[in-house]
Amino acid sequence: MLVFNQLETYLYLALILFAIGLYGVLARRNLIAVLISVELILNAAMLNFMAFNRFLAPHPAVGQIIALFIMAVAAAEASIALSIIIAVYRKLKAINVEQATELRG
Amino acid sequence: MKTLFFPFTPQGIALLSFLLVVAFTIVGALIAVLARNIFHNVLGLALSLFGVAGLFVYLNSPFVALMEILIYVGAICIAICFAIMLSQPLYLPGAPRNPLKIQGAALGAGAVFVFLALLTKKTRWVPAAERSTDWSITTIGHYLLTNYVLIFELISLLLLVAMLGAIANARGGRGRS
């Protein structure tokens, strides 16, 4: 049994990607870096779907369709998030979540 | 065949390239999260997404792998590059990192990792009783326009709304400007 023909390999890989992305969301303060980490988390979810699709699912087309839907939603989310980041930068002159504040004190 | 050295058998080559793809994925993700320069983060993300596309090829779905490269590497990474160019200049020094926050984030992500790893280890994964072997792209197209046509149309609407929203946001509200 080769290592790339086992379900668990892909699950652990997706888990590593998810943990790295979660660390990025929690630790980074640059808004764009947070968005990059969210993309990593979405990719981990997509890898899980594709792995289950390859090894368990009754019909192999369904998981691929769901992966395509995830990609489309991720593209929409990225475009909205980037436009919000640019608007925030224009208004507050910072994209660091600790510096981009309006209230003083 | 006996005379071939192990890495040069078909399985050996497949295994080596699988390890290469896995290394791309993990090293790219680490660069995307740990590097200080935001531009290096985007390059790491692109490397990681190439790795994930390679994993999709190993999962028997070259179509989704190509879509991954086209949409993620080709569209999302480029869009992030534009956002970097339009926002904070790169020569400004970043704020110093707060070690307490980094430790907390590492602890939280590590706890989730351990919990999910134990869950994955403990679960018995049972394949479906009857599994179709139809991996063709034609079938995906049929499914997209029959069983999943409502979601397909909804997603197209979502993309349109997101596009309009992004334009309205980025040019500063709906007023005349």
How is chain A split into domains, by residue range? Answer: 3-92
Q: Do A72 and B143 touch (CB under 8 A)?
A: no
Indicate yes or no: CB of B71 within 8 angstroms of CB of A75. Answer: yes
Q: Scanning the structure block, which residue is given the tokens 């290096």?
A: B40
B143 close to A65: Cβ distance less than 8 angstroms: yes
Q: Which residue has the higher pLDDT, A99 or B58?
A: B58
B positions 143-172 inside 8 Å of A (CB): 143-144, 148, 151, 155, 158-159, 161-163, 165-167, 169-170, 172
CB of B113 within 8 Å of a chain A CB? The answer is: yes
Mean pLDDT split into 10-residue runs, chain A, 105 residues: 87 96 93 94 95 91 93 94 90 81 71
A54 CB-near residues (< 8 Å, 6+ apart): A7, A10, A60, A63, B59, B60, B61
The pLDDT of B59-84, averaged and rounded, is 93
Pairwise CA distance, residues B139 & B142, whole Å: 5
pLDDT tens readout for residues B14-45: 999 999 999 999 999 999 999 988 999 999 99
Residue B92 is classified by DSSP as: S
**pLDDT at residue B151 in the model:** 93
Q: Do A55 and B106 touch (CB under 8 A)?
A: no
pTM listed for this prediction: 0.90
| The predicted structure's pLDDT at residue B96 | 78
Confidence of residue B103 (pLDDT cuts 50, 70, 90): very high
Q: What is the C-alpha separation between A83 and B82, in angstroms, rounded?
A: 10
Question: CB within 8 A of B162, min separation 6: which ones?
Answer: A75, A76, A77, A79, A80
Closest to B140 (Cβ–Cβ): which among A64, A79, A89? A64
Best mutation target among B59, B69, B107, B123 (most A Cβ atoms within 10 Å) is B59
Q: Does B35 contact chain A (CB < 8 Å)?
A: no
Architecture per CATH, domain A3-92, reads as Orthogonal Bundle (1.10)
Distance of alpha carbon A98 from the chain centroid: 22
User: Chain A partners of B116 at a C-beta cutoff of 8 Å?
Assistant: 15, 18-19
